[in-house]
């Protein structure tokens, strides 16, 4: 296990360094922050002082070197927009995204596993055909379109739910519902296919011959052996929620890390952009490591 962790840490470190280089230089192409944070009639001296204060006067390569040196001391710089340490701003926003992703994935996993397992047990039946149709629609539907339609129907026309914010449980319903649809459709398809394959195994036929009831066959004997591909897809979808909820968070005004990255790009808050990328990448690395550990638990024959 320690060898697995070392290998994953080394490969993830190189990936993170490449990501830092790419984001650092690309973010600088968005323009000069002085045009956003200073008044239109700001003098050249004021602009020069602003750049000097935030380390933007140095040549680009020297700025990058200073950033890497500060990073080795766990100094992520300061947010230009909020005048706070960039890492504090990101962690505060990431907490909201993490809660949103955890609640969504827990709901997705439960519904997809239960419905996919039942559909696989009666292949070709009405319930199976309905589940297949729902999963296909869910996997194909674009998040941004669903979010806009949901706001129009449930917030504007009916008035049941708020359009943005996090003040109550009602504020979470639409973001969770919209983020739920796509991973639910994808994972439901994988659960159904994997369970169909597992239910055709010899040990299932033996269990049926011994008179074992359907529920233990599905959720005890078969499900564990069918979970490896499901765990893989669930990990990918969880990473997508952490890294790709940008559109949904922006539409619903949800104060997560996705919306923070969009706002920081528009405001040219370079340190926050880089800190958000690094925190998200670290979370995805930890999640992938947990998936590898789950493989070992589900199938002890696997060795890394």
Q: How far apart are the first and last CA of the chain?
A: 8
Average pLDDT over residues 202-225: 72
Residue at 79 is within a domain: no
Answer yes or no: do 54 and 90 share one domain: no
pLDDT band for 302, please (50, 70, 90 cuts). Answer: low
Number of domains in the chain: 2
Residue whose token pair is 């968070």: 249
DSSP assignment of 156-189: IIS--S-SS--SSHHHHHHHHHHHHHHHHHHHHH
CB 19 within 8 A of CB 303: no
Cite the beta strand spans of 79-175 per DSSP E: none
* CATH number, domain containing residue 279: 1.10.3720.10
What are the tens digits of pLDDT across the range 153-201? 888 888 888 887 777 888 888 888 888 888 888 888 888 888 888 777 7
Answer yes or no: do 110 and 155 share one domain: yes
CB 178 within 8 A of CB 267: no
Residue at 81 is within a domain: no
The pTM (predicted TM-score) of the whole model is 0.78
Query: Distances in Å between the alpha carbon of 90 and those of 54, 64, 145, 281?
Result: 19, 20, 27, 13
Distance CA 52, CA 33 (A): 12
């Amino acid at each position: 296990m320690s060898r697995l962790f070392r290998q994953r840490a080394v490969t993830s470190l190189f990936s993170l360094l490449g990501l830092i280089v790419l984001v650092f230089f690309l973010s600088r192409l968005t323009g000069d922050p002085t045009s956003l944070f200073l008044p239109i009639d700001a003098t050249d001296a004021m602009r020069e002082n602003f750049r000097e204060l935030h380390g933007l006067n140095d040549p680009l390569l020297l700025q990058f070197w200073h950033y890497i040196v500060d990073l080795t001391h766990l100094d992520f710089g300061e947010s230009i927009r909020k005048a706070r340490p960039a890492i504090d701003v990101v962690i505060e926003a990431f907490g909201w995204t993490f809660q949103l992703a955890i609640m969504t994935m827990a709901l997705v996993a439960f519904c997809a596993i239960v419905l996919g397992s039942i559909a696989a047990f009666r292949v070709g039946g009405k319930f199976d055909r309905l589940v297949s149709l729902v999963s296909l629609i869910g996997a194909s539907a674009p998040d941004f379109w669903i979010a806009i339609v949901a706001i129009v129907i449930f917030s504007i026309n009916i008035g049941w739910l708020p359009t943005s914010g996090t003040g109550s449980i009602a504020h979470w319903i639409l973001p969770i519902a919209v983020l739920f649809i796509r991973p639910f459709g994808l994972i439901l398809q994988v659960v159904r296919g994997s369970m169909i394959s597992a239910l055709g195994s010899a040990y299932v036929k033996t269990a049926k011959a011994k008179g074992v009831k359907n529920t233990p066959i599905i959720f005890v004997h078969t499900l564990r052996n069918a979970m490896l591909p499901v765990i893989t897809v669930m990990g990918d979808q969880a990473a997508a929620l952490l890294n790709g909820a940008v559109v949904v968070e922006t539409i619903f005004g949800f104060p997560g890390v996705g919306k923070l990255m969009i706002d920081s790009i528009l405001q040219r808050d370079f340190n926050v952009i880089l800190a958000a990328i690094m925190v998200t990448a670290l979370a995805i690395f930890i999640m992938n490591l947990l998936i590898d550990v789950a493989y070992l638990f589900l199938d002890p024959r696997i060795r890394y």
